[in-house]
Amino acid sequence: MNKWQDNRAWFLVMPVFLIVAFSAIIPLMMVVDASVHDISGPGNRVFVGAEWFKEVLGDRRLHDALRRQLTFSGLVLLIEIPLGVAIALAMPRRGWGVSVTLLVLALPLLIPWNVIGTIWNLFTRPDIGLLGVLLNGLGIQFDPTAAPLDAWITVMLMDVWHWTPLVALLAYAGLRAIPDAYYLAARIDGASAWAVFRYIQLPKMRGVLMIAVLLRFMDSFVIYAEPFVLTGGGPGDSTTFLSTYLVKLAGGQSDLGPAAALALIYFLIALAVCFAFYRALQNVGSGDQR
Amino acid sequence: MALIQLKGVAHAYMAKPGAPEDYALKRLDMVWQDGRAYALLGPSGCGKTTTLNIISGLIRPSEGRVLIDDRDVTALAPRDRNIAQVFQVPVIYDTMTVFDNLAFPLRNRNVDRKEIRIRVHEVAELLEMTADLKRRASGLTADAKQKISLGRGLVRKDVAAILFDEPLTVIDPHLKWLLRRKLKQIHEQFRTTLIYVTHDQNEALTFAEQVVIMNEGEVLQTGSPQELFENPKHTFVGYFIGSPGMNLIPCQINGDAAIVEGAPIALGEGVAERGRAAGGELVLGIRPEFLRLRPTAEQGNVPVSVRLAENLGNFKIVTVSLGRLALKVKVPEDQEVPGEWAYLNFPPEWTKVYADGRLVE
Ligand SMILES: Nc1ncnc2c1ncn2[C@@H]1O[C@H](COP(=O)(O)OP(=O)(O)OP(=O)(O)O)[C@@H](O)[C@H]1O
Ligand SMILES: [Mg+2]
């Protein structure tokens, strides 16, 4: 009797199992498979062991891409988190202004990623772009297609414009959860505006800010569409990030092996960072919220 | 230690108040004597918090002046007044230790470190929290957090008054009376003025020397619990204080008596005359405790029919009908309640007449 009921449970788990298998495990295994073989054509494959991994790990262009990637993600966090918090602090707390600000903030988040790249490409082009023409008209040389620094500035501007609202919204949600009594008590206690921020607002925002850091790090770490559409990874390799490089590598048919090896390494780095953040988040949860 | 005066204070939350209903607090003149324990009692939305916040400076009143020891503080920020306030939700600074929480108001006022140490330890001792000083405040229970909120008020040496805005609402019932007792003890020891907002009349009546009754943005009466019970100045006070509240029945005045449903009821010396002079809508009020229920007719008694007798342990509440009106009478547990008909006696000294809600004195 019991045995039969136990077995039936498998049917209920099966759909989830299949979905996970087809969406994650099987593709991943195929990548693993490709990373240890030399595949030069259909039916023509040789086992090469860790060959591709050695090649990829020793690849100078990969090192450069990784360095660029970390710089980019670091800058993203350094700029977007404080800026998002500042915006959240400046947002109205009640009245009609609330919905207007929320709407304006949500707009960049609703635009498809490749469209974002196109928008900023058009915006900054020195020949026809509003910003490009304006800056050059003012006598400031600005050309993201030619100068690496300008390309970086543009990519950063684009990401800040695109994603700071997310941080701001999260921070705002954290701020809204603070009961009014805290602000009143702080006034009675004679706290300065800085003390209110340091001892009330920041601690209460800590949970959501950890989530914001996690989301922004992961998203910026795997960024592809926007910079690809905006700069195509150039000029030169100056805005080639990890995923841009990965696609460049996999684009050449014969480089499937190294690309697969790189993809795995990339995946493991992302997983490791995710895990670190996850642990950090758990500590925040247990140590702080009552 | 200080005398707090509100002079012609009124407050409206909207920018351009017009009608009297726009005011959350109508014109209020009030003196809070030094060293007393006041309870501010009234239904939800009557303006208790508004009054408190005006005293502490969280709200600047639309009209009128606030004086502390004859100094006009109307324009001063909370941090420049020597008033402490404890709120309904316990407020603690999560990332700080208990010590730092208690030291916070002093640090903000640049008190020197040695003085802070001494003050914080004194207060911790008083609140029985010395053992917790090094702990992080966020891990504490709600009642401990509320004690810290109170401690941040006590730690300031110059504090003239401590205001409490329903501070025990979120505290477990069995801890409530412990905290209330602590509060009483602190009050007796330091004689700081306390103003305690609540809408629980038991809390108000047991805690305070003076009870202030508010309704719809107005203070209706200030007095000792006994005064409020024996001599309500307003029908609202009569009804709000006591359980069950005062019987309030429409009446007319004829000669020296009040006429209720055609039956004459004798009034105190001169009351009828002053009631007639006051005019307006007249209401006769008498507490259930003061009505006498008799089995047989006597001179001046009013015949009533008995509807319901509830035994509540030490006493009974009897509901009787006088014409179309229902009255409640509180009788001792051992008194026999007549089955159908009875006679009510209204002692003239406890029979009040109200004109448009206000006591005819
Ligand atoms: N910030 C505000 N803005 C507008 N109206 C307010 C504000 N605060 C209070 N009011 C209004 O003012 C009136 C008095 O409010 P108040 O908070 O003083 O009442 P209360 O007696 O403390 O009530 P409760 O027992 O519910 O705390 C209420 O009608 C309330 O709706
Ligand atoms: Mg209130």
Query: pLDDT tens for residues B170-208?
Result: 888 888 888 888 888 888 888 889 999 988 888 888 888
> Hey, of B81, B104, B120, B148, which one would you mutate to test binding to chain A, going by the most A CBs within 10 A of its CB?
B104
**Which residues, including other chains, have CB under 8 Å from residue A231's CB and lie 6 or more apart?**
A121, A144, A145, A151, A154, A155, A238, A239
Helix ranges, chain A (H)? 2-20, 26-35, 51-57, 60-90, 96-110, 113-124, 130-137, 148-176, 180-188, 193-196, 202-221, 225-231, 242-251, 256-287
Check if A203 contacts B (Cβ < 8 Å): yes
Q: Do B138 and A288 touch (CB under 8 A)?
A: yes
The Cα–Cα gap between B49 and B43 comes to 11
In a domain, A26, yes or no: no
pLDDT on residue A5: 58
Ligand 1 pocket: which of B25, B49, B88 to mutate (most atoms <8 Å of CB)?
B49
Check if B226 contacts A (Cβ < 8 Å): no
Cβ atoms of B213 and B241 within 8 Å: the answer is yes
pLDDT in tens, A112-170: 878 888 888 888 887 888 888 888 888 788 787 788 888 888 889 889 999 999 999 99
In a domain, A53, yes or no: no
In a domain, A32, yes or no: no
Which residues have C-beta atoms less than 6 Å from ligand 1? Answer: B 13, 24, 42, 44-50, 199
Domains and CATH numbers, chain B: 4-11+23-238 (3.40.50.300), 244-359 (2.40.50.140)
Dihedral angle computed from the Cα positions of residues B71, B73, B74 and B76, in that order, rounded to the nearest 10 degrees: 160
Taking the centre of ligand 2 as the mean of its atom positions, its distance from the CA of residue B84, in whole angstroms, is 16
Domain of residue A130 covers: 61-289
pLDDT in tens, B46-104: 999 999 999 999 999 999 999 998 899 999 999 888 899 999 999 999 889 999 999 99
pLDDT on residue A290: 37
Cβ atoms of B52 and B195 within 8 Å: the answer is yes
Selected residue with higher pLDDT from A127 and B315: B315
Neighbour count for residue A12 (Cβ, 10 Å): 9
In a domain, A39, yes or no: no
Q: What integer best gives the mean pLDDT of chain B? A: 90
In a domain, A221, yes or no: yes
Ligand approaching nearest to the C-alpha of B22 = 1
Residue B20, classed as helix, strand or coil, is helix
The Cα–Cα gap between B88 and B169 comes to 6
The Cα–Cα gap between A273 and B130 comes to 42
Search chain A and give the residue with CA nearest B105. Answer: A189
Cβ atoms of A71 and A242 within 8 Å: the answer is no
Q: How many domains does chain A have?
A: 1
B352-355 vs B358-359, strand pairing mode: antiparallel
In a domain, A27, yes or no: no
**Closest residue CA from atom 16 of ligand 1:** B47
pLDDT in tens, A18-63: 888 888 888 888 888 888 888 777 777 778 878 888 887 888 888 8
Q: Sign (positive/negative) of CA torsion B166, B61, B101, A208?
A: positive
In a domain, A126, yes or no: yes
Cβ atoms of A151 and A68 within 8 Å: the answer is no
What letter does residue A22 receive in the DSSP assignment? I
In a domain, A13, yes or no: no
Check if A195 contacts B (Cβ < 8 Å): yes
Percent of chain B with pLDDT over 70: 100
The CATH number of whichever domain residue A243 belongs to comes to 1.10.3720.10
B292-294 vs B325-332, strand pairing mode: unpaired
Quickly state the pLDDT bin for A287 (edges 50, 70, 90).
very low
Closest CA to B361 of B270, B241, B236: B270
Is residue B149 pLDDT above 60, yes or no? Answer: yes
Percent of chain A with pLDDT over 70: 93
